[in-house]
Amino acid sequence: MRRTARTITTFALSTAMAAAAVTAVVTPPPAQASGACSNSGTGIRLPFDFGSLGFPRGGAAQGPQKPLPHFDNGRTKTISWVTGPLSGNKTFTRFGISGTDVGVAWDNERGQTLMAFGDTFGNCLHQDRGWRHNTLLRSTDTNLANGLTLQRRGFAGEMFGAVGFSGIEKTTIPTAGVSIGGKQYVNYMSVRAWGAPSRWFTNYSATAVSSNNGRSWFTPQSTIRVNAGVDAALPAGWPSVNQVNPLFQQSAYLKGVGDDAGWVYQYGTPNGRFGAAHIARFRPGDILDPGKYQYWTGTRWAVGAARPAAIVRGPVTELSVAWSPYLNKYVMLDSPHGVKMRTANHPQGPWSPGRRIAPSSLELYAPMMLPSSPALRGTGPELYFNASRWDDYNVALIRTKVR
């Protein structure tokens, strides 16, 4: 039994990597009906249980998206839907997207904001519901006060694939993105299975690279961080499992400024929404070589630190981190109970206690800051971020004012 389990897991990991290696833009399927699909990342069975980070309730043929709730407390305000049939972007008719989540955002250094999304659904009357494990959209919008406008049109294909079966590899979800030297890099997690609410199990995390602005992606084996819970003989060429790997199954990227310049920082959390946050740094040219990463021990940076120090105690959820020239501080967002903001003078902290900027009643998760925000350009206090909603399984644009 044990040998069989190990063989299956080894095969699964090899197959997962083969699926992830290269993905090309695909041709749109014929659209026969509209609507968004329902899915669940909580272990609660729903009509279309394909799995993702969210917990939309519903599952009607027309999907769960409803008008975006109005919220404005003087500091934080809901602006508009970014995705979904009810969004101004009309993502179902333009991109074949009726439901999706996450929306990791980064500047591609060419005047575009790239956004990577998690499990994505299209036509719910198709047998496979138009399921894609992940998708990428683009924007050149720099005035977000009235919403975020997406560029172009055409069916949004997968960035990188997955096996698609629970217990082997359910899906692959982007958690961080950064542009370095004209190439795009996305860190993602290979989800083996969804567990209880806000818990899931990963095979590994890895970094995919694109040399053509996100049209195709390749995952170098050197970037794979196999999770410690994976019990299998690893395929030839894979990095060995170490104590750091489980701490970096989900990520956020940050480019340092001032005294921290010349380094790219990677924030890491374990799979799920209950672990602490840790931090690594690397020179831009070393992003594909985790063996050269340095980890914060609590007092210094060290290569291959066996026990890096937690910089934010759990529970830490999906997070994003950015430098705000308006505040002259680094800013971190996550969403353990409502959306919370922290600030720090350096990437490793010390980080301030989290201040709630959006209530839990809004049911937001995965707050991903948008690089075109005035607060991140130094032109004003407005900070815009993508945030997903449980019920609607779509991404909304939210604005807050930093202070």
pLDDT in tens, 324-382: 999 999 999 999 999 999 999 999 999 999 999 999 999 999 999 999 999 999 999 99
Q: Are 279 and 311 in contact (CB under 8 A)?
A: yes
Distance CA 80, CA 30 (A): 28
State the sign of the Cα–Cα–Cα–Cα dihedral 329, 332, 333, 338. Answer: negative
What does the pLDDT read at residue 2? Answer: 37
Average pLDDT, the chain: 87
Strand order in the sheet with 355-358: 320-324, 329-334, 339-344, 355-358
Domain segments of the chain as ranges: 2-22+32-401
What's the Rg (C-alpha) of the chain? Answer: 20
pLDDT at 285 over 60: yes
pTM of the model: 0.89
Strands 171-180 and 135-139 turn out to be unpaired
pLDDT in tens, 69-92: 999 999 999 999 999 999 999 999
pLDDT in tens, 143-187: 999 999 999 889 999 999 999 989 899 999 999 999 999 999 999
Of the CA atoms within 13 Å of residue 20, those in its CB half-sphere come to 32
* Mean pLDDT, residues 183-203: 96
Provide the CATH number for the domain formed by 2-22+32-401 in this structure. Answer: 2.115.10
Distance CA 101, CA 118 (A): 5
* Mean pLDDT, residues 221-238: 78
- Tell me if residue 15 falls in helix, strand or coil: helix
The amino acid at residue 293 is Y
Helix H or strand E encompassing 78: strand 77-81
What does the pLDDT read at residue 242? Answer: 80
